[in-house]
Amino acid sequence: MFLAKGEFMTQKLIREITEENEKKILSPYAALSVNSRGRQRDEAECDIRTCFQRDRDRIIHSQSFRRLKHKTQVFLAPTGDHYRTRLTHTLEVSQIARTIARALQLNEDLTEAVALGHDLGHTPFGHAGERALAGLSPNGFKHYEQSVRVVDYLEKDGKGLNLTDEVRNGILCHTIGEDAYTLEGQIIRIADKIAYINHDIDDAIRAEVMNEEDIPLELRMSLGMSKSERINNMVLNVIHNSSHDRILMSDEFWDLFNDLHDFMFTAVYRNPVCKGEEVKAVAMLEKIYEHYTKYPEQMPYPYCSIAEKESVDRAVCDYIAGMSDNYSLKIFNQLYVPRFWIE
């Protein structure tokens, strides 16, 4: 805040000024930071940042967020530097979500916080890792539930990040099931879909698995002839069709999106060129799970403690889900490969 010479700062905190500006600028349907449902544990407010800005910063500075840079999005260990990782996916979701939020005059800070935290609980090796843990654990495994567990408990040595209820709810509801109770949280579900369908096409073209022209012409004519056109048209459709209680595409565009998704399942998501190595990744995670289920005391803190307080399965799932691709490979080699073979 810039002051003229001789002026003194008013008694209002910067956070309070921001909160007042939200009331003046944002839609009546936006989630105002001053009206947040609060945190699981009460704490003093920041003088500068709103509660949602603070959540965003806590997520960015977390260990789980940094590990996303070494977690698979779709392509396992691709050759080249330009393929998406779980981290770059998260950043693309965030930018698309913020664009929608700003256009609808919703709370961009809340939107950004949910977007940055939505995949913190994702396993190594993308959804293949998630399917592996879901099949191994008697309690199942869902990455969106694990993301909430990360921010509630696993970060900061069991203390968690103590995020606001609005951010936690948005993270939990970003994939399937019940909608988030804020419009900002609802944005993430659709921004996630817009981001992944388009960057997966881009990566598949880079990997020479498909060409842009392989996409059915009627879909290209309707959704856009390029990645940037598709993203722009999808975002515009969401902006024009959302209401005071729901973030959504038009029925026509949603049907087109699902047709494109079906095409991607055939061309990419089930393509042996893309997914041929997944069986090896799954087998590796299965062996790691098997070992630590037998020897939970060999896991590092806090996972050995979780095994004692909750269950061995819970602890092993927490440990594996937090691994990066590279770290899980390192652990597998330590457990099952003779040392002189990998030195």
- Going from the C-alpha of 214 to that of each of 26, 82, 205, 326, the distances in angstroms are 42, 21, 10, 33
Asked whether residue 273 is domain-assigned, the answer is no
| Angle (nearest 5°) at CA 40 between 34 and 42 | 65
DSSP character at residue 310:
T
Asked whether residue 35 is domain-assigned, the answer is no
* Biggest distance spanned by C-alpha atoms of the chain: 72
Asked whether residue 320 is domain-assigned, the answer is no
Q: What is the percent of the chain where pLDDT is above 90? A: 86
**Phi, psi angle pair for 224, to nearest 5°:** 140, 150
> Where are the extended beta strands (E) located within the chain?
none
Asked whether residue 66 is domain-assigned, the answer is yes
How far is 25 from 111, CA to CA, in rounded Å?
A: 16
Asked whether residue 194 is domain-assigned, the answer is yes
How far is 272 from 57, CA to CA, in rounded Å?
A: 39
Our count of domains for the chain comes to 1
pTM, to two decimals: 0.94
Helix (H) or strand (E) holding 98: helix 86-103
Q: Write out pLDDT tens, residues 50-89.
A: 999 999 999 999 999 999 999 988 877 666 778 899 999 9
Asked whether residue 55 is domain-assigned, the answer is yes
How far is 187 from 215, CA to CA, in rounded Å?
A: 26
How far is 238 from 100, CA to CA, in rounded Å?
A: 8
Asked whether the beta carbons of 108 and 182 are under 8 A apart, the reply is no
Asked whether residue 269 is domain-assigned, the answer is no
How far is 168 from 118, CA to CA, in rounded Å?
A: 9
**Phi, psi angle pair for 164, to nearest 5°:** -70, 160
Q: Write out pLDDT tens, residues 148-204.
A: 999 999 999 999 999 999 999 999 999 989 999 999 999 999 999 999 999 999 999
- Contacts of residue 224, defined as CB under 8 A and 6 or more positions apart, other chains included, come to 230, 231, 232, 233
Q: Write out pLDDT tens, residues 304-322.
A: 999 999 999 999 999 999 9
CATH code: domain of residue 65: 1.10.3210.10
Instruction: Give the model's pLDDT for residue 75.
Output: 78
- State which residues form the domain around 210: 20-29+45-247
